[in-house]
Amino acid sequence: MNRYLIDFDSDEIEAEYHDVVVIGSGIAGVYTTLDIPEEYDIAILTKETLDVSNSVLAQGGIAVSLGKKDSPELHFNDTIYAGAGLCDEEAVWVLVNEAAPNIEALVKYGVNFDRVNPDELALTREGAHSRNRIIHAGDSTGKEVCDKLIAAVRTRNNIKIKERTFVIDLLVENNTCRGVIAFDEDSSTFKLYLSDIVVCATGGFGQLYAHTTNPEVATGDGVCMAYRAGAELMDLEFIQFHPTVLYHPENKSFLISEAVRGEGALLRNKYGKRFMPEYHELCELAPRDVVSRAIFQEMKKTNSTNVYLDITFKDREYLEHRFPNIFKTCLSYGIDISKDYIPVAPAEHYCMGGIKTDVFGRTKIRGFYACGETACNGIHGANRLASNSMLEGLVFGRKIGDEVTNILKETKGMRSPFKCSYKSNRVKKDLDIDKIRADIQNTMTEKVGIIRDREGLLEAKRKIDNYVELLSDMKNETIRDFEIQNIALLSKLVIESALEREESRGAHYRSDFNKRDDVNWRRHIIKSL
């Protein structure tokens, strides 16, 4: 495998020096940036504009134990249960114990969470939570949080925002981070952003699949650049499918928040029959993997493309207030959720695996940190507990910010010169990149989805391996070229991990190994060069 996706000579490319380079503009990236003192020069590099990320699309809310009958211990227990025996307990303790101070920080940034009264935040419940502990801003929590954090970033003179900047690869020298090489889409030029500290917060990789709640930018770029640079990846086989995504001819990616089920919504098959009590004692509020598989099996049993979510027992005024975005969006497709069942089906939603880190976001490469969905420190185990994702970005973003600040104080802006050149055997190829992308996505959806087996995984592996080989010596000139390299590589690594894990656990379900096997498989699968 070629180390870099392009040939280059650092002497021939424009370079900028920064104290810190942050890749990604979701909650994890932006919050980390804000935690670093204003005396340091920071560049935020984002593939699109600042407001395009998985975080912005997050509807439900943020999990935090604030209720009188709740505690960090209970939140810990629920997280461990959902993670199906693979959670890192140290990381989970950090998550639940440091949740409340980070929520207080968001309130200070002006985030307008829903309240019962001026002094009390409103709390709701989502799948696998034993208490009401989800704070929210209507059904657009992610957007509200991101809007306020981005507004704060824009006021900081020390933060340089580089939009429409695609980061291609991490620059590494003697296992030490030296910066990144990026493509400026507006000028169609390459550029070096040099720094001894790089924070990767590029989000997930939902675009490996045909149906996903993730935006177009979620192509796994950060995970792949880390892998090529020598970082370790962990838990890639655990891909969470959200059970309830709108199923409509014009929209099959709009999330119907778990909070709707938290407010009592029932799942019904095409005959109107409620079916979740047959699958799990927690019914509609069972862990996401359970609900997704139940829906998948119910669709198969009834030969249907979707099931239905029923919240018609709530009146229109309540629904318009509690779920304004969902209500409005569904209505635009002719669905009045106060009267009509919502057609839904599972779609890829979240990746538990990613770049292996410790609780301070540190990777195997010195100076290279990862945070948010692109990172994997073990808090989610085999299946993320609902609404722990934004919390993860906050808690561990702050820990990275504090760690980086201490390093910067010690180094006091010292920078050593960096020179690098790379030459490969890449050649220009006339390939239909969009067709290859669609074929990979369909293959991953059909063979590496909610239910897997060896035969299907091997079939997928053969196809994806051929694409990886075909693309290995292609000259990359556009963002779509870079993305397809990452999509193919990461699909290959996900399939290999899924093949290796011969059991069913959390979001990884093998019909040919349909039992959990703690004796042999209560461990993580690590991928590295």
Which residues are the active-site residues?
Answer: 288
Q: Which of 52, 4, 384, 22 is nearest to 218 (CA)?
A: 52
Q: What is the dihedral of CA 258, 259, 265, 268, to 10 degrees?
A: -10
End-to-end CA distance of the chain: give it in Å, rounded. 9
Q: Is 189 helix (H, G, I), strand (E, B) or coil?
A: strand
DSSP state of 310: E
Residues with Cβ within 8 Å of 77's Cβ and at least 6 positions away in sequence, in order, are 130
Residues with Cβ within 8 Å of 409's Cβ and at least 6 positions away in sequence, in order, are none
Longest distance between any two alpha carbons in the chain, whole Å: 68
Per the listing, tokens 């984002």 go with: 46
Q: Please list the residues that pair with 200 across neighbouring strands.
A: 23, 370
- Cα–Cα distances (Å) from 44 to 26, 106, 111, 201, 449, in that order, read 11, 20, 21, 10, 33
Q: What is the SS3 assignment for 221-246? A: HHHHHHHHHCCCEECCCCEEEEEEEE
* CA 176/CA 83 separation, integer angstroms: 33
Instruction: Specify the amino acid at residue 200.
Output: C
- Answer yes or no: are the C-beta atoms of 299 and 307 closer than 8 Å: yes
Q: Is 366 helix (H, G, I), strand (E, B) or coil?
A: strand
* CA 95/CA 115 separation, integer angstroms: 23
Question: Which DSSP string do the residues of 430-492 spell out, in sequence order?
Answer: ---HHHHHHHHHHHHHHHSSSSB-HHHHHHHHHHHHHHHHHHTTBPP-SHHHHHHHHHHHHHH
- What angle do helix axes 454-471 and 479-500 make, rounded to 10 degrees? 150
- Answer yes or no: are the C-beta atoms of 139 and 342 closer than 8 Å: no
Q: By CB neighbour count within 10 A (0-12 exposed, 13-18 middle, 19+ buried), where does 412 fall?
A: exposed
